Amino acid sequence: MKYIIILGDGMADWEIDKLGGKTPLEYANTPEMDKMASMSRIGLAKMVPEGMKPGSDTANLAVMGYYPKKYYSGRSPLEALSIGVKLKDTDIAIRTNLVTISEEKDIPFEKRTIIDHSSGEISTKDAAVLIDEIKKSFENDEFKFYVGTSYRHLLIWDKGEVCDLAQPHDHLTETIGPYLPKNPAFKHMMEKSFEILNNHPINTDRAKKGLNKANCLWFWGAGTKPALDSFEKRTGKKGAMISAVDLLKGIAVGTGMTNIEVEGANGSLETNYEGKAMAAVKALKDGYDFVYVHVEAPDEMGHQGSIEKKIKAIENLDQRVIKTVNRELEKAGIDYRMAVLPDHPTPIKVRTHTNEAVPYMLYDSTNHLDRDWHYNEREAKEKGDYIADGYTFIKRLFEE
């Protein structure tokens, strides 16, 4: 038996009036997931424990079977693992976004508003040039910057301390003043970065093309060196991770899983869905017992507040990932169990993560159930089981 989790990041949502009171998942055309649901177990699982922020970090750890209150030490340290940064026990890792803030003339920095937490999903190539400019001004023995992926980058603070820093995607369209760091060094770097980046040639060119500028740094997600157990030792399963996001790659590194790179996988709506699906199938054929396929697009579209694009991301997941995996594994005659779920909701209405339980589906190719339900939040709640401790969910996938 082979095992696979297909994770639609932030796929769950709230009911939307424009969709006739349906959620994007309920409204989307998802024939593959609905066909599977009629033969599967469905339900709700609470991935993020009460008292913890509903981040993709805590939630994905739980989906993989790691109790967040025990294993979570911050988001950025996991991303540091992904890009090969070796953390000292005294290091503090801090996520460094390239964001878009407003450009009004003759107003104080703190009166500007945050427009886009992802700078229009800037390419890693262009972002690297901008981070190099930042390094010239700010890098020293205390602060080191590292290029990540797209708008997501990293700051390592030598002998620093974990501090409370606001998540940019929680405050889109808001004035930034109340959310700026209390640490004067961080606040200075953010303010100075606007002066450095706003009129950089890359941003001037982006503006001409109608794209959001990557014109400011934003620090958040501080944490310390993580200590994760081996996934294979915990589960007896040799695992692989397929994701375009440094966070998930970092979790894989920390848990001893193999990261499988897919050309064209970039975490956007236009990611290489089929490439991810085929890489998962190949891994299972090549001797891996378990593959975790992470698709970021639904979450990004939720942050953007786009109903249409979030629906499209869900439909892409259905037809270009899940259907492809099912077809290829069945063609190969491989018995498998598949879980489909989000890590947390990212509701269009609030454009950030929330902490409700998420709908899950458990499919077994060797044990087709006979049900009349579909895969969505409403029916998962009405007809399925509830898992209060989401980190135990993976045991249901692996149970024989």
Beta bridge partners of 212: none
Q: Which two tokens stand for residue 281?
A: 């199938």
User: Pairing state of beta strands 239-242 and 290-295?
Assistant: parallel
Q: Which parts of the chain have pLDDT scores under 70?
A: 400
Query: What letter would DSSP give residue 114?
Result: E
- Residue 167's contacts (CB-CB under 8 Å, 6 or more residues apart) are 53, 55, 220, 221, 352
Q: Both tokens of residue 77?
A: 């340290």
Q: What is the pLDDT of residue 75?
A: 86
What are 229's two structure tokens? 């157990």
Tens digit of pLDDT for each residue in 255-313? 999 999 999 999 999 999 999 999 999 999 999 999 999 999 999 999 999 999 999 99
Which residues pair with residue 7 across a beta bridge? 294, 341
Strands, E, within the chain: which ranges? 2-8, 41-45, 91-101, 114-116, 143-149, 152-158, 216-223, 239-242, 258-259, 290-295, 336-341, 358-364, 385-387
Give the pLDDT of residue 400: 58
Task: Say which residues have a Cβ less than 8 Å from residue 70's Cβ, sequence separation at least 6.
Answer: none
pLDDT at site 356: 97
Right CATH number for 2-72+226-398 from 3.30.470.20, 2.40.50.140, 1.10.1530.10, 3.40.720.10? 3.40.720.10
- The two three-digit tokens of residue 324, written as one number: 């492809």
Q: Find tokens 């044990």 and name the residue.
A: 367
Do 397 and 5 meet the contact criterion of CB atoms below 8 Å apart? Answer: yes
Burial class of residue 318 (count of CB atoms within 10 Å of its CB; 0-12, 13-18, 19+)? buried
Give the H/E segment covering residue 327: helix 323-331
Residues 6+ apart with CB under 8 A from 313: 8, 11, 269, 295, 297, 298, 300, 301
Helix, strand, coil shares of the chain as percentages rounded to 5? 40, 20, 40
Describe the crossing of helices 307-316 and 297-304 by its angle, rounded to 10 degrees.
170
Output the pLDDT for position 66.
97
Note the pLDDT of residue 384: 85
What angle in degrees, to the nearest 10, is found between the helix axes of 56-63 and 246-255? 40
Burial of 162 (0-12, 13-18, 19+ CB in 10 A): middle
- Under DSSP, the state recorded for 213 is P
What residue segments make up the domains of the chain, in order of their start?
2-72+226-398, 91-223
